[in-house]
Structure 1
Amino acid sequence: MATTTVHRSARTRENASAAGRVRAHSPYTNWFYLPAAVIYGVLFLVPTVIAFYFSLTRWSIFDSKFIGFDNYKTFFQEPALVSSLWHTLIYAVLTSGLKVVLGLGLAMLLTSQIIGRGYLRSVVFFPVLVSTIGVGLTFTVLMNPERGLINQSLDLIGITGPGWLTDPSLALISVGLVDVWKGIGLATLIYIAGIVSIPQEYFEAARMDGAGAWDNFRHIVLPLARPATVTVIILSLIGGLRSFDLIWAMTKGGPGFTSDVIASVIYKQYQAGFYGLSTAGNVVLFLVVTAIVLPLSRFLNRKEVEL
């Protein structure tokens, strides 16, 4: 009787294992990927392929003529277009770097035991909710070299304010600082989520060993909040490389071409009717973002796994 029971149990396990293998190899679950794949293909893959094709043509709304890589040759032969690529890189590095540093600092402050912590978190995040165009127009008024509130405030303490948006050497940096002001709330929120997820046992053990605030920050917060840092870097870098609306609202790429980025130059080319050239610029921007973000993301995530 015991032998029969053992054989029945063995058969039951074999049947369960066979059923599991059938379920594992069943194509039924793959059908759930189909809606997402269709949406991804229609909204991303198809437009991307079409954009690549039209970047090789001279086209208008009604017709097109295949011209090969002439649009790309023109793009890289135009000094304004090449300088806009350089401005884009400067803008992206400046804004993403400041968001990482300031976001981490604000997150450390807003996770400490301070009065009105919840209210301050709301205040820091508020600029993220405001329209980018609205922010741009507001700071254009505030940064007016003659009647702007910023320079008027500096005059009260005996400092002559610069032409924030009219000085060619300051225009791009000024817009970048406004971009940081608007986006710092999201970086802070990501860092807050990363810091509060750190188990308190680490801090308690460090306190028992006599570690101070700097030791906690260096040996606990920085390593364990690394996923938040990677997220902030990648998102901020992508946003900086693709930035357009704030720059257009504040300077329109001026004075001259000193604050032009790739996106603003592409828009100007569309306005002028050079649709093929502007499409080629879009492809160049896509390739630049991909060439920078993908290797950086793999490098940062690999370092995270090694840690």
Structure 2
Amino acid sequence: MKPAAEPAHARTASGRRRSAYPYALYLPAAVVYLVIFLVPTVMAFYFALTRWTLFDSSFVGLDNFKDFLAEQNLRVGFWNTVFYAVSTSGLKVILGLLLGVLLTSRLRSRGFLRSAVFFPVLVSTVAVGITFSMLLKPDTGLVNQVLGPYGRDWLGDASTALLSVALVDVWKGVGLATVIYIAGIASIPEEYYQAVAVDGGSAWHRFRHVTLPLSWPATYSVIILSFIGGLRSFDLIWTMTRGGPGFTSDTIASIIYKQYQAGFFGLSTAGNVLLFLLVTAIIVPLTYVLGKRQVEL
């Protein structure tokens, strides 16, 4: 005797319950995302249109944005931000790729070298900034003692201050880029390298025709992460130069912080909103272009 068929409406209800179950697992993450990101973002857009303190606020429209864009050193801060982001992300890509290739080769001590390269990533950014500020002191710093007559005031000279901070940023962050490249290179099938070897290709041919193109997903990740970090850079710059000498190493983030220090909370909130829009306007097209190239590969 065949069992009675389940009614159609019961099957539909059961299917809905089953299909709703996976989405319920997203709920905790959605709540955290809503509370930690979406709500503060909406509040920031509102308070950017006000002059506010901890206890009061008054609506001023777009005046904060006009005042922030009228800042004398904003143009310098904008170009410093772009320079810092481009230089740090570019160097992390190049050095991370080279170190990734080296540390995936048959080195006897590659485990130790991987740990040594990644170690700066674990160190506090503020601690790194203070340490290198001491090392780069013009009179007593170790760097100038090693360089002798070629030493200079690295952080006190307008022509070298921002570049010095950028190089320290690369030293601290290249370990993460290297780990990403190690993972990308290790995932390349060995058959490709064997095919190059059969054709008589050298190590350069293996790198040029196999490692470089097939590690593009890692390159994509490093570029996006490093560029976003560079555009939002603040802590290392503030620790080492505080935007000086003068305003020559100011970035948009440090200008915003100075407004907070001066008590112009609405003005600095407007600056944060503009920085958010700037990062979005740069990263979204960059992600599309790089992602399209990744698909084509």
- TM-score bin, normalised by smaller chain: over 0.9
Give the Å deviation of 1:253.
0.7
| Structure 2 Cα separation of the partners of residues 211 and 258 of structure 1 | 49
Can you give the 5+ residue segments of structure 1 that lack an aligned partner in the other structure?
1-7
The offset of 1:34, in angstroms, is 2.2
The whole-number CA distance in structure 2 between the counterparts of 1:72 and 1:87 is 20
**Pick from 160, 184, 187: which aligns with 1:197?**
187
Residue in 1 that maps onto 2:235: 245
Specify the code of the residue in structure 2 equivalent to 1:72: F
1:271 corresponds to: 261
1:295 positional shift? 1.5
Report sequence identity in percent: 64
Of 91, 109, 112, the residue aligned with 1:119 is 112
* Aligned twin of 1:88: 81
Counterpart-to-counterpart distance in 2, 1:63 and 1:192 = 52
**Alignment pair present for 1:66 and 2:59:** yes
- Corresponding residue number in structure 2 for 1:5: none
- What is the Cα deviation at residue 272 of structure 1? 0.4
**RMSD between superposed Cα atoms in Å:** 2.1
For 1:148 and 1:31, the matched residues in 2 are separated by: 57
Give the CA deviation at 1:29. 2.9
Taking structure 1 as the reference length, the TM-score comes to 0.90
Aligned twin of 1:223: 213
Q: Partners in 1 of 2:230 and 2:205 — Cα distance?
A: 32
Asked whether 1:27 is paired with 2:20, we answer: yes
State yes or no: 1:147 paired with 2:137: no
Deviation per CA, 1:177-210, whole angstroms, max 9, x where unpaired?
0000000111011101111111111101110011
Deviation at 1:273, TM superposition (A): 0.3
Shift of 1:25: 8.0
> Is 1:106 the counterpart of 2:99 in the alignment?
yes
- Where 1:115 maps in the other structure, the secondary structure is coil
120 and 60 in structure 1: CA distance in 2 versus 1, 3 angstrom threshold? same
User: In 2, Cα distance between the equivalents of 1:32 and 1:116?
Assistant: 43
Q: Deviations over 1:131-172 (max 9, x none)?
A: 1111111110111112111111111xxx42121100001100
Measure, in 2, the Cα distance between the counterparts of 1:76 and 1:83. Answer: 12
Paired letter, 1:34: L
Give the deviation of 1:32 after TM superposition.
2.4
Give the corresponding residue for 2:72.
79
For residue 70 of structure 2, what is the amino acid of its counterpart?
Q
Unaligned runs of 5+ in 2: none
